[in-house]
Amino acid sequence: MSKITVVGAGNVGATCANVIAQKELASELVVLDVKEGVSEGKAMDMMQTAALLEFDTRITGVTSDYAATAGSDLAIITSGVPRKPGMTREELIGINAGIVQSVTAGILKYSPNAIIVVISNPMDTMTYLALKSSSLPKQRIIGMGGILDSSRFRFYLSQALGVPASDVDGVVIGGHGDTTMIPLIRFATYKGIPVTSLLDEAACNKVVADTMVGGATLTKLLGTSAWYAPGAAGAALAEAILRDEKKVFPCCVSLDGEYGQKDLCIGVPVVIGRNGWEKIVDYPLDAAEQAAFDKSAAAVRATNDVLAEMKLV
């Protein structure tokens, strides 16, 4: 069995760890946090559900001790400051860049062959930073955001159609931001039927708009970033990797000419397997969709430029 490390024992990290444990994706799960007692307490709390939920994953909580993460097959980075109401993901870059860079170094010191999954925001830029800060092949650095955005897209589609979300397919590409993500409504289906033939234009436009502000909507309601769906999305990606499922998920990965972009980490559909992301799936975008993708890429590049100004890349 595999070993997984989750860095950050906040709401997202703890939820992700809990789902991973219940699914028994690893025999050993380490939860690491800088705040003393938090990861230890949450790990103990989760372990006290093992007899009730009947899982055998061993969960250990540690404070800033990367040696305990040694031999991890997969590390999920959730650490950083969460969004507050009115704050964009991009505004977090100055705070979270240093955290993600040091976490990546700490993980790779003890687990040089690990696959790194980035959840910390701004996710596209943090994924780019993790890639540039490491010597890992690009296939082993993956940003989770598109999986979460697509799950929210499917939720809003299911609400509009009045059907189960599990019966709806929908993909979101582009940046993981309120103005940069691109819900591909033209490709969305309900049991193989295009949703554009089931919903009128106004309803389709509303689904797209609601999806794009899905995170901000929750932040306004909760007073902080959401955690159930982000945590579950991180666990779903971990499952696809460790069980070599070959699932197609929209993830933030490094492009080298695909979708007309280079030297950029941004969300596109990829095949996920045991070695990370294995192949980029080339959706046939129309002119408007490609223009939206190019605009999204430009916005992500502008955020990446802050890393250069901070001399982090």
Return the active site residues: 176
Helix (H), strand (E) at residue 247? strand 247-256
d(C-alpha 127, C-alpha 295), whole Å: 19
d(C-alpha 106, C-alpha 114), whole Å: 12
β-pairing, 115-118 with 74-77? parallel
Cβ-contact 128, 307 below 8 angstroms:
yes
Residue 183 identity: P
The one-character DSSP state at 142 is E
Q: What is the CA 210 to chain-centroid distance, rounded?
A: 19
d(C-alpha 248, C-alpha 128), whole Å: 21
Cβ-contact 213, 177 below 8 angstroms:
no
**Tokens of residue 199, six digits:** 């919903």
Region for 257 from its dihedrals, namely left if φ exceeds 0, alpha if ψ lies in -120 to 50, beta otherwise: left
End-to-end CA distance of the chain: 35
d(C-alpha 145, C-alpha 12), whole Å: 13
